[in-house]
Chain A
């Protein structure tokens, strides 16, 4: 295995009394597609939010692309990261949120060009070209001048994916990207994510409850329980013959909810 592009070392995250990540050890290889599953409150989304620097950690070290994310080397040890360091590290990642979080006051096109122009410093023409290519990729070329409020949830999420990709991240984080969608709109979003999964370079980390989808696109499934990875392995192994009782119970509850 290559040097991992993401590595959690005994990472602890607490919200008050509640320990969400409990000395978590976790690795992702470059280009790997990993899906995190598990009961709510097990810390799945927190893993993504810590990576995107939306949540600080209480202990441990997170490495991204060989460098500590929340720390900087200082006289042989590590000190808390400066904003400049965090900005450099964020550049490597893009995130797609459960509720899309598009900017409602901008057209679809501007949602896609704003950060490339003002964060990456692209020219208006470059940013626009990049945005148009991505809109084509997600099948929304005709919606460039629409506002987010004029789009369906599925369309908004596809725009949000394109917006994250416009920054050319090495790592894409998907935080329950279809959980807020009406059932008939889930497919169009999953198709876009699936087409991305075929890119070998892109590392993908996905939190989802779409088990069939996870099985098809993932190299590895991690089952989270109480802030740790209880069990992980290739999809066929986890879904067909889980070793842990908790994994079996969870999969049974998700796949046969009526029983």
Chain B
């Protein structure tokens, strides 16, 4: 069988994988930001919420989260009289986003805490409020620090999308499995899939690199 005949179905799968990756990475970034800042909050309730979220999603398997949201949640919804059945894409994005968000939250917290104490002192001496100090002084300096680990997480997330094939989402891994069942041509198909994931990861890493340069422009100025 000609390997070129696999290209079209596999590319369709790639597109779903890309969609899942983009949406869940954006959701994850927002959650990472919220929970990371929440963990630094002086409000005990916000802090407790953030810590609980981070620990629960870092401490349980992504696959189990996925199954729970897809199979268990609708049943739970039935019990309390709510329709909690979601489209597989929504469930995939939600599970992946919640997962990457929990890891990302620690990145955000770490980067904000790594801003030198002297910067906070200078901000205080100029009478900035706590909120102004965070948004105007600390975060712009923390952002470039976050980018390399965020890049790692995004690539990790891309590869984790393969798990959503298990809730019958037609992503790249799902398409590969379908083709393999049909043709038994495992070597060709999985070699192609390997390269496709690798290609997408390269593009993603390059995009994150561009973003990193953009948020850290001021760091490249030297005498």
| Alpha-carbon separation in the docked complex, A26 to B132 (Å) | 34
Say yes or no: B221 contacts A149, CB within 8 Å. Answer: yes
Residues from chain B with a CB closer than 8 A to the CB of A115 are: 126-128
**CB of A127 within 8 Å of the partner chain:** no
Closest A residue to B222 by CB, please name it. A149
Closest B residue to A149 by CB, please name it. B221
**CB of B218 within 8 Å of the partner chain:** yes
Say yes or no: B126 contacts A97, CB within 8 Å. Answer: no
Least Cβ–Cβ distance between B140 and chain A, in angstroms: 5
Residues from chain A with a CB closer than 8 A to the CB of B124 are: 52-54, 90
Say yes or no: B223 contacts A151, CB within 8 Å. Answer: yes
CB-CB contacts of B105-141 with A at 8 A, as 1s and 0s? 0000000000000110110111111001000110011
Closest B residue to A91 by CB, please name it. B127
Interface SS, B side: helix
| Alpha-carbon separation in the docked complex, A83 to B177 (Å) | 62
| Alpha-carbon separation in the docked complex, A54 to B223 (Å) | 32
Say yes or no: B141 contacts A118, CB within 8 Å. Answer: no
Say yes or no: A105 contacts B132, CB within 8 Å. Answer: no
Chain B interface extent, by class: 20 to 34
Say yes or no: A97 contacts B136, CB within 8 Å. Answer: no
Say yes or no: B127 contacts A119, CB within 8 Å. Answer: yes
Q: Which of B126, B136, B222: most chain A Cβ within 10 A?
A: B126
* Of the residues A102, A118, A163, contact of B128 by C-beta under 8 Å: A118
Residues from chain A with a CB closer than 8 A to the CB of B218 are: 104-106, 147, 149
| Alpha-carbon separation in the docked complex, A164 to B121 (Å) | 13
Residues from chain A with a CB closer than 8 A to the CB of B128 are: 115, 118-119
* Contact sample, A vs B, 25 pairs, CB 8 Å cutoff: A52-B124, A54-B125, A87-B129, A90-B124, A90-B125, A90-B127, A93-B125, A97-B121, A97-B122, A97-B125, A101-B118, A101-B119, A103-B119, A104-B218, A104-B219, A105-B219, A118-B128, A118-B136, A119-B126, A119-B129, A149-B221, A149-B222, A151-B223, A164-B125, A167-B126
Known: A52-B125, A99-B118, A149-B222. 19 other contacts (CB 8 A): A52-B121, A52-B124, A54-B124, A87-B127, A90-B125, A90-B127, A94-B125, A97-B118, A101-B119, A103-B119, A104-B141, A105-B140, A105-B219, A114-B136, A115-B127, A119-B132, A149-B223, A164-B125, A167-B127
Chain A residues close to B by CB (< 8 Å): 52-54, 87, 90-91, 93-95, 97, 99, 101-106, 114-115, 118-119, 146-147, 149-152, 163-164, 167
